[in-house]
């Protein structure tokens, strides 16, 4: 029997979809593995669950002492400790992030609505601009690139970022959790969509509408953008199309 949905959600939130062994964030490719296999009496409980990436999952399952002399298998006690240590690391990061966000909110400009169109100078406040509120709060950070593109960063924010394919519109953004969030910087062009995932696993989408750049002859460093944020933890933006 597989783990229940409630067990899987609790485990995935606890690890923030990072593998508990290699710590890579693999999003939809993560698996919930039985530390003690069901065939050996293992239960479908949170305590017996460890989230793993495809590579580590294969390594944990592949070992057979009858055919691999001299190799060392992953034993349940090690998996339990590695998982619990990683859960504690994620929890500590979350506390530190919330502390930094609380400090930052005092001075950084914000747009608390769940959707809207905003225009701001990205050379102010070290490029930070806060959008949304509560669990759907996203700390964004920007710097100039050109007259038709802008750099977005994850540094000192609470987000991961991905680029939608250039030809995509809102009606194509039905599964943004499958996009590539592996880079600390993305550079969307005019009309393109930047996808955000925050530390609560909520998703947002930003479309770049207009740009000005002093280094390219304009009088100001400004970006005009439209954004949409989801409150419910889903990854489907087609309802906004």
Is 34 found in the same domain as 55?
yes
> Does 92 lie in the same domain as 128?
no
Tens digits of per-residue pLDDT, 191-235?
Answer: 999 999 998 889 999 999 999 999 999 999 999 999 999 998 889
Same domain, 36 and 76: yes
Range of the domain at 194: 110-240
CA dist., res. 16 & res. 79, Å (int) = 17
Conformation bin of residue 4: beta by default, left when phi > 0, alpha when psi is -120 to 50:
beta
Concatenate the DSSP letters of all residues of 34-100 into one string: ESS-GGGT--SSGGGEEEE-HHHHHHHHH--TTT-TT-----HHHHHHHHHHHHHHHHHHHHHHHHH
pLDDT at position 229, please? Answer: 98
pTM of the model: 0.70
The whole-number average pLDDT for the span 102-110 is 73
Q: Using DSSP, state whether 28 is helix, strand or coil.
A: helix
Question: Domain boundary at 50, 70, 102, which?
Answer: 102
pLDDT at site 207: 98
Please report the pLDDT score of residue 200 as a whole number.
Answer: 84
Q: Examine the pLDDT at 32 and tell me if it is beyond 60.
A: yes
Residue 118 in this model has a pLDDT that exceeds 90? yes
pLDDT of residue 63: 65
Q: How far apart are the first and last CA of the chain?
A: 39
pLDDT at 102: 67
Do residues 175 and 207 share a domain?
yes
Is the domain of 120 the same as that of 86?
Answer: no
Q: Which of 36, 68, 102 is the last residue of a domain?
A: 102
**In total, how many domains does the chain have?**
2
């Amino acid at each position: 029997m597989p783990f229940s949905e409630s067990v899987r959600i609790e485990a995935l939130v606890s690890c923030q979809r990072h593998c508990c062994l290699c710590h890579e964030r693999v999003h939809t490719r993560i698996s919930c593995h039985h530390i003690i296999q069901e065939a050996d009496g293992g239960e479908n409980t949170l305590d017996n669950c460890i989230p793993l990436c495809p590579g580590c999952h294969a390594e944990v399952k592949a070992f057979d002492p009858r055919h691999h002399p001299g190799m060392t298998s992953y034993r349940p006690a090690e998996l339990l400790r590695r998982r619990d240590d990683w859960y504690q690391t994620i929890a500590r990061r979350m506390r530190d992030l919330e502390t930094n966000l609380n400090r930052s909110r005092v001075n950084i400009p914000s747009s608390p609505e769940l959707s809207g169109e905003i225009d701001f100078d990205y050379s102010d406040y070290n490029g930070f601009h806060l959008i949304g509120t509560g669990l759907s709060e996203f700390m964004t950070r920007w710097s100039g690139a050109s007259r038709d593109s802008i750099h977005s960063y994850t540094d000192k924010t609470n987000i991961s970022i991905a680029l939608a394919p250039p030809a995509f519109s809102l009606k194509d953004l039905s599964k943004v959790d499958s996009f590539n969030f592996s880079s600390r910087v993305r550079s969307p062009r005019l009309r393109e969509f930047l996808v955000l995932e925050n530390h609560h696993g909520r998703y947002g989408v930003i479309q770049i509408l207009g740009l000005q750049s002093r280094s390219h002859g304009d009088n100001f460093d400004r970006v005009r953008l439209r954004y949409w944020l989801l409150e419910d933890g889903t990854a489907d933006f087609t309802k906004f199309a």
